[in-house]
Amino acid sequence: MDNAPLDFAYLDDDNFDYGTPKLPDFDCRSESPADRSQLQRSEPGLPLLQLADWNPNLPYNECPPTCVHYSIVWKLQLKKVRATKLTGDTERNLVLAPGAFWDRTLKSKLEDLLKKNTPPKKCYKPHETNIAVSTQERSETDLSMRFDEWNIVWKDIEDQLRAWSNFFRAGKKLTINISFFCMEETQTIAVSTQSAAGTAAQHVERDDILLQNTIWNDVYALMRCPGHPCKNQGGHCWRNPDSKKHFFLDGQVLTKLVRYAEEGNPLKTHKDVPEFIRELIYAKEQAASERKLKRKGSLCEGGPPIKIVNVLPPHYGQASMGAPPVAPARRPANFSIPNPRDKAIRAYCDWHCRQVDDPEWKQGFQKACAITLREGFDLRHVYQDQDVKIFVTNGVKPGIARSFIDDVEIWVKETKAS
């Protein structure tokens, strides 16, 4: 994600034209460049009409123009994990000053559209507004501004239009691009405690992370295994609502559950786990028991059964309780770790820490990170070896160790996607 101030590129703006809208219906301004510079030197700027001076019944196609004309290109978006564009429009050839136009027309238009285009049970509130004022005059840079909610300081924008009025008179169009962001009310509260510092892009990025983490935390909390009689305490299980049987969940299934919730599906109880994810859970359980049988068989062939004493939690997939834990096989890692690899370990650790509140858990992840660095493993080794023991014997809690081992793939995918 680009952190440049007000970079509109991060938005979901396919089909959205940020180009300057077509010229107003009239255009009598065809001076030569020499005339233009003459104009800019000698003439005072054009006024911007306020409500008191503005007559809604006049066409304002006077030639030469007696006031500033400009356009507003706006879009209304919902801020979820990714911004979703609800609607947008271009208001061409405006002469009424933007602040007055907002009060008189645009604000109520947005309120109506927001109501009409969002689910009736959900309450969306204005969250943030990004504005860029631009002129076709290339020597001038855009004026970019960010406002909380819809608390737009129109005066600054109007001052800019006035300052550029001679460019307008010389044939350069003036445009205001506006992105209005709204959020579900509960979410707005969640992010409003964030500092007001930072660029708009950083804001969006950070808010997205916050939102993502909220869903992520909810899903992980729901699936957290309460333990006894299941031995997966600290890990994650899906409890079949009918049989009450625990099915261990690995990072892949948990990620699917998070995605499912992020798409807006209800996931409040174990009953809400959809059929396609249940099938995946059953398939993993089946494969795991087959692997276990195979290992048991090979142990028996090789002589008397060996009792493996192991205080570590059994690995994913061994859902039956009371079975002796078996050393995990190396699993393939079909991804590559971003370089430099030692830095990737630290970034991965930060990512884990952002997903938990408990300082002790954060410390656990930091410990796991330190062990990995000290032993010279890279994240691929961690993922492939599934060696919970090395972390646990060095003081990391088993559940933390498992998350640290299993979530590498998810992190790599998220890092590459962002």
User: What span, in angstroms and rounded, lies between the C-alpha atoms of 278 and 275?
Assistant: 5
The contacts of residue 308 (CB under 8 Å, 6+ apart) are 324, 325, 326, 327
Tokens of 54: 């503005």
Among positions 201-230, residues that touch Zn ion (CB under 5 A) are 225, 230
User: What span, in angstroms and rounded, lies between the C-alpha atoms of 374 and 229?
Assistant: 36
Among positions 225-254, residues that touch Zn ion (CB under 5 A) are 225, 230, 232, 237, 246
> Residue 46 or residue 237: which is nearer to Zn ion going by CB?
237
Q: How far is the CB of 263 from Zn ion (least distance, A)?
A: 26
> Residue 77 or residue 232: which is nearer to Zn ion going by CB?
232
Count of other CB atoms within 10 angstroms of residue 276: 9
> Residue 237 or residue 369: which is nearer to Zn ion going by CB?
237
Name the phi and psi angles at 384, rounded to 5. -70, -45
Among positions 246-305, residues that touch Zn ion (CB under 5 A) are 246
Q: How far is the CB of 222 from Zn ion (least distance, A)?
A: 12
Q: How far is the CB of 282 from Zn ion (least distance, A)?
A: 16
Q: How far is the CB of 237 from Zn ion (least distance, A)?
A: 3
Q: How far is the CB of 230 from Zn ion (least distance, A)?
A: 3
> Residue 133 or residue 237: which is nearer to Zn ion going by CB?
237
DSSP 3-state percent helix, strand, coil across the chain (nearest 5):
45, 15, 40
Q: How far is the CB of 239 from Zn ion (least distance, A)?
A: 7
> Residue 204 or residue 230: which is nearer to Zn ion going by CB?
230
Give, in degrees to the nearest 5, the angle at Cα 134 between 85 and 175: 65
Q: Classify residue 121 by its DSSP letter.
A: T
User: What span, in angstroms and rounded, lies between the C-alpha atoms of 304 and 322?
Assistant: 20
Which residues lie across from 238 on neighbouring strands?
247
> Residue 270 or residue 389: which is nearer to Zn ion going by CB?
270
- The SS3 call for residue 20 is coil
229 preceded by a cis bond (ω within 30 of 0): yes
Tokens of 386: 């599934």
Q: How far is the CB of 78 from Zn ion (least distance, A)?
A: 36
Closest C-alpha among 27, 20, 19 to residue 169:
27
> Residue 191 or residue 225: which is nearer to Zn ion going by CB?
225
User: What span, in angstroms and rounded, lies between the C-alpha atoms of 112 and 150?
Assistant: 15
Q: Classify residue 31 by its DSSP letter.
A: -
Name the phi and psi angles at 26, rounded to 5. -110, 155
Q: How far is the CB of 277 from Zn ion (least distance, A)?
A: 16
Q: How far is the CB of 246 from Zn ion (least distance, A)?
A: 3
Q: How far is the CB of 232 from Zn ion (least distance, A)?
A: 4
The one-letter code for the residue type at 265 is N
> Residue 8 or residue 247: which is nearer to Zn ion going by CB?
247
> Residue 24 or residue 234: which is nearer to Zn ion going by CB?
234
> Residue 169 or residue 246: which is nearer to Zn ion going by CB?
246
> Residue 114 or residue 225: which is nearer to Zn ion going by CB?
225
Site membership for Zn ion, residue 110 (CB under 5 A) = no
Tell me the site size for Zn ion, rule CB under 5 A: 5
- The SS3 call for residue 134 is strand
In the block, residue with structure tokens 């979410």: 187
User: What span, in angstroms and rounded, lies between the C-alpha atoms of 316 and 236?
Assistant: 9
Q: How far is the CB of 235 from Zn ion (least distance, A)?
A: 7
Which residues lie across from 178 on neighbouring strands?
74, 131
User: What span, in angstroms and rounded, lies between the C-alpha atoms of 175 and 135?
Assistant: 6
Tokens of 381: 């080794």
Interacting residue ranges for Zn ion, rule: CB under 5 A: 225, 230, 232, 237, 246
